[in-house]
Structure 1
């Protein structure tokens, strides 16, 4: 955990973000560097501004910003979809080879930035609870938004690291000696936070921007949470609620429209504007696209095994995967903008989207023996991809159907938020995939190490096995 001074600085920085990069939200006379928690929570306007700051911080924080220290990038390297172009960057190579040193700086950034987000949500929750100047409606909404972000962050921490400290306050004395909490308890907290979001949030996006979370964002994340917990009925129920929202969400026929700002497939996105007004492109576009002229900037490429996994007629192959002839390398082309400062912003980073909900429900159906229903949901994804449908009369065994769903998840969700790595982990297939080409693979490699620097600061933190 960071020390108190740094955390106070982060809190001031967070609450000043909306004043710098989102001037349309609020205009305060107090200089940014003098903002105090009392001033932040002395009105609805300033409290809303603080939550906007958290959204903006998600565009800056290492774990969530789509950069080379993000879940998308690092967990992508750990899986079999993305690989380094060069092996000179040892910090990145360790993720690809499943030999992460506890001193790895990228791993530290991933961990600490996630906990910084959690700290900031805790600060906002304490601020609105202790203020009499905020209206009941705004207080309820902000609580739902902040708890969603906290739940979302803990979801990744618990899946990447296993047992992690459960931090629910800004009390640095307690936080600096917090021990690890079991995965079961972390998941209970995630569900509790999301239940609050269900009860506190409406279903409409503020200002039409899908960069704020709604009740349906919580529904979508709960569908994923229950899938991971193998509560198949609840996973089915929650994903069905999203799929039923036909007027709000749809599988877009043109796959090139999926990752546009406020796409109708988007359940929640993160806007590049959170990084400042000069940023008009996503980090995902910047790091995954191999520019035809500036290919020497490229750091990763797609695994050829992934590319070969696509049917030649798959629209996702022709539209979401590019090829750089000079490097003879394939790259993710879901985002089309590479390092641009042009206006207006046309792409937002996708976090939650409708296609995943179809795949969640397909898996939940399959686990319950609802074969026809599972095939129908897979076919919804295949139809959009321009592929032949799986006949409903086909006879599929449980394991065969699950493998089909996993392969569809791989093709649909590659280069997004580490889905492939987390999938291989939760279904117990990682060893089967990686031990063939990596003689040093151990089952304990499925979890990342607790950063050494954090364990030096807090001697109550134990290390994951194998490190």
Structure 2
């Protein structure tokens, strides 16, 4: 059985050094057999662009459903996934329970990882850069899969023969996490340090790989390595915190110096940001009461995130600009920022705290607070306001990274999901932290078993 690798390209013979708009051009023109497709360096580059295309589709909506939908910062009036996630009544026919798009991304990455070295030999720097991007995007996909479903099938080769196992069993999540780490280390060593200009934000650089490693190490509670990878990000001259008067530009315009990796969209390839956040009473999510009550007085970010003049705000305008009122249901061409410097700084602060290095943790925390117009916290102040330093850092992540797809994973990672969500929707079983596997996957693969909570 031969699989085909569907690669959507606007212009086939592109150079990796071309402008960022080329990557975002997505006019479907053909499908190629992977074995016959990889013949030139341009084909190798096109194969990697095909992975980015799959990433665009995967995270268009899911970055929010997976990262925010089950957490405390949002509320909803919508039926379907938003309601079921908020009520913690997940089932095996949820759209967000599908992993198809993640495995499409992984499949395209596997083809690239296998065939690029047949075109560009191992000692070819350009080839290693391309494989590094492919491995990082594969790692990104598996990292989401592990955090959403736990044990998942670990597939590292493209399907090209009936001799291969087409019904893979689920692999232990620790094995998957180890593979993610290996892929990201390779990417951090072999991806380009810089592409120049906007390409540094929508292509995988070494800095992006190090940012992903920081998230991975924090998930594994490997705090020394998390600090080490974060330090590489902070030392990278591609990244700097933007001043507060430019904070909205991170999301409304994209490509700022604070951005480490964002998924690029344009008028051709669009996402669901409007449907998720911007349609007033018809949007999937709006700011919850507990989120609105969690701001300290004088926080300059609050009215950049939602309309503080409304008694019950029904939209999140963080991604569209203060005063945004266009309630068109049209798809959005705004980029989705997955990783940025403030995120990594706060993870580093958390890691320092876990290592007993409170001064370092507070210094990083206060850097983010100060930008937002808030006063420094010392240990006593953090404890007085939030209970302890760790909770102060987690609260800062709630505000600073609001609706960017981190909150649910932060709650799970820090062991606070049940504590926070039980009063809201009755979450009380650690097995319930995972999503169910979609029934389509179970029906197609007899070697898969449903997660225990949903059996």
Secondary structure in 2 matching 1:352: strand
Residue 381 in structure 1 maps to residue 381 in structure 2: no
Q: Evaluate the alpha carbon distance shift between residue 289 and residue 302 of structure 1 in structure 2; reply closer, same or farther with a 3 A threshold.
A: same
Residue 42 of structure 1 deviates from its aligned partner by 1.6
Residue 59 in structure 1 maps to residue 25 in structure 2: no
- Picking from 348, 352, 359, the partner of 2:339 is 352
Q: Which has the higher mean CA deviation after the structures are superposed, 371-380 or 43-52? A: 43-52
- Picking from 195, 198, 210, the partner of 1:205 is 195
Task: Note the alpha carbon deviations across 1:155-196, whole angstroms, 9 max, x for none.
Answer: 111011111110111126545311111111111000100111
- Asked whether the equivalents of residues 57 and 101 of structure 2 are also in contact (C-alpha less than 8 Å), the reply is no
> Which position in structure 2 is the counterpart of 1:219?
210
Q: Evaluate the alpha carbon distance shift between residue 409 and residue 461 of structure 1 in structure 2; reply closer, same or farther with a 3 A threshold.
A: same
> Which position in structure 2 is the counterpart of 1:465?
452
- Picking from 166, 184, 188, the partner of 2:178 is 188
- Picking from 219, 238, 246, the partner of 1:228 is 219
Looking at structure 1, the residues matched to 13 and 41 of structure 2 have their Cα atoms a distance apart, in angstroms, of 19
Q: Could you tell me the TM-score, scaled by structure 1's length?
A: 0.85
- Asked whether the equivalents of residues 66 and 408 of structure 2 are also in contact (C-alpha less than 8 Å), the reply is no
- Asked whether the equivalents of residues 194 and 222 of structure 1 are also in contact (C-alpha less than 8 Å), the reply is yes
Describe how 1:244-393 pairs up with structure 2 within 5 A.
244-246=235-237, 248-254=239-245, 255-259=247-251, 260-273=253-266, 277-279=267-269, 283-290=272-279, 295=280, 297-322=282-307, 325=310, 328-336=312-320, 347-391=334-378
- Asked whether the equivalents of residues 154 and 186 of structure 1 are also in contact (C-alpha less than 8 Å), the reply is yes
Task: Note the alpha carbon deviations across 1:136-164, whole angstroms, 9 max, x for none.
Answer: 12211111000000111111110111111
Q: Which has the higher mean CA deviation after the structures are superposed, 124-133 or 231-240? A: 124-133
> Which position in structure 1 is the counterpart of 2:157?
169
- Asked whether the equivalents of residues 145 and 197 of structure 1 are also in contact (C-alpha less than 8 Å), the reply is yes
Secondary structure in 2 matching 1:390: coil
Task: Note the alpha carbon deviations across 1:286-311, whole angstroms, 9 max, x for none.
Answer: 52123xxxx45423211111011012
Looking at structure 1, the residues matched to 184 and 21 of structure 2 have their Cα atoms a distance apart, in angstroms, of 30
- Asked whether the equivalents of residues 285 and 333 of structure 1 are also in contact (C-alpha less than 8 Å), the reply is no
Q: Evaluate the alpha carbon distance shift between residue 269 and residue 439 of structure 1 in structure 2; reply closer, same or farther with a 3 A threshold.
A: closer
Looking at structure 2, the residues matched to 134 and 16 of structure 1 have their Cα atoms a distance apart, in angstroms, of 26
> Which position in structure 1 is the counterpart of 2:70?
78
> Which position in structure 2 is the counterpart of 1:35?
32
Residue 149 in structure 1 maps to residue 137 in structure 2: yes
Residue 211 of structure 1 deviates from its aligned partner by 0.4
Residue 249 of structure 1 deviates from its aligned partner by 2.7
Residue 333 of structure 1 deviates from its aligned partner by 2.1
- Asked whether the equivalents of residues 194 and 205 of structure 2 are also in contact (C-alpha less than 8 Å), the reply is yes
- Picking from 383, 395, 406, the partner of 1:407 is 395
Looking at structure 2, the residues matched to 369 and 313 of structure 1 have their Cα atoms a distance apart, in angstroms, of 30
Secondary structure in 2 matching 1:329: coil
> Which position in structure 1 is the counterpart of 2:105?
117
Looking at structure 2, the residues matched to 206 and 147 of structure 1 have their Cα atoms a distance apart, in angstroms, of 21
Residue 354 of structure 1 deviates from its aligned partner by 0.1
Q: Evaluate the alpha carbon distance shift between residue 464 and residue 157 of structure 1 in structure 2; reply closer, same or farther with a 3 A threshold.
A: same
Looking at structure 1, the residues matched to 382 and 402 of structure 2 have their Cα atoms a distance apart, in angstroms, of 28
Q: How many residues of Structure 1 are paired with residues of Structure 2 in the alignment?
A: 436
Residue 24 of structure 1 deviates from its aligned partner by 4.4
Looking at structure 1, the residues matched to 213 and 46 of structure 2 have their Cα atoms a distance apart, in angstroms, of 27
Q: Which has the higher mean CA deviation after the structures are superposed, 168-177 or 98-107? A: 168-177
Residue 396 of structure 1 deviates from its aligned partner by 5.0
Secondary structure in 2 matching 1:166: coil
> Which position in structure 2 is the counterpart of 1:107?
97
- Picking from 72, 84, 95, the partner of 1:94 is 84
Q: Evaluate the alpha carbon distance shift between residue 20 and residue 198 of structure 1 in structure 2; reply closer, same or farther with a 3 A threshold.
A: closer
Task: Note the alpha carbon deviations across 1:77-111, whole angstroms, 9 max, x for none.
Answer: 2111112123xx23332211222111223322xx1
Secondary structure in 2 matching 1:411: helix
Secondary structure in 2 matching 1:267: strand
Q: Evaluate the alpha carbon distance shift between residue 395 and residue 127 of structure 1 in structure 2; reply closer, same or farther with a 3 A threshold.
A: closer
Looking at structure 2, the residues matched to 434 and 250 of structure 1 have their Cα atoms a distance apart, in angstroms, of 32
Looking at structure 2, the residues matched to 26 and 161 of structure 1 have their Cα atoms a distance apart, in angstroms, of 30
Looking at structure 2, the residues matched to 85 and 432 of structure 1 have their Cα atoms a distance apart, in angstroms, of 24
Task: Note the alpha carbon deviations across 1:360-387, whole angstroms, 9 max, x for none.
Answer: 1110110111111111000011011111
Looking at structure 2, the residues matched to 23 and 245 of structure 1 have their Cα atoms a distance apart, in angstroms, of 25
Q: Evaluate the alpha carbon distance shift between residue 100 and residue 197 of structure 1 in structure 2; reply closer, same or farther with a 3 A threshold.
A: same
Looking at structure 1, the residues matched to 80 and 282 of structure 2 have their Cα atoms a distance apart, in angstroms, of 17
- Asked whether the equivalents of residues 298 and 373 of structure 2 are also in contact (C-alpha less than 8 Å), the reply is yes
Q: Which has the higher mean CA deviation after the structures are superposed, 348-357 or 174-183? A: 174-183
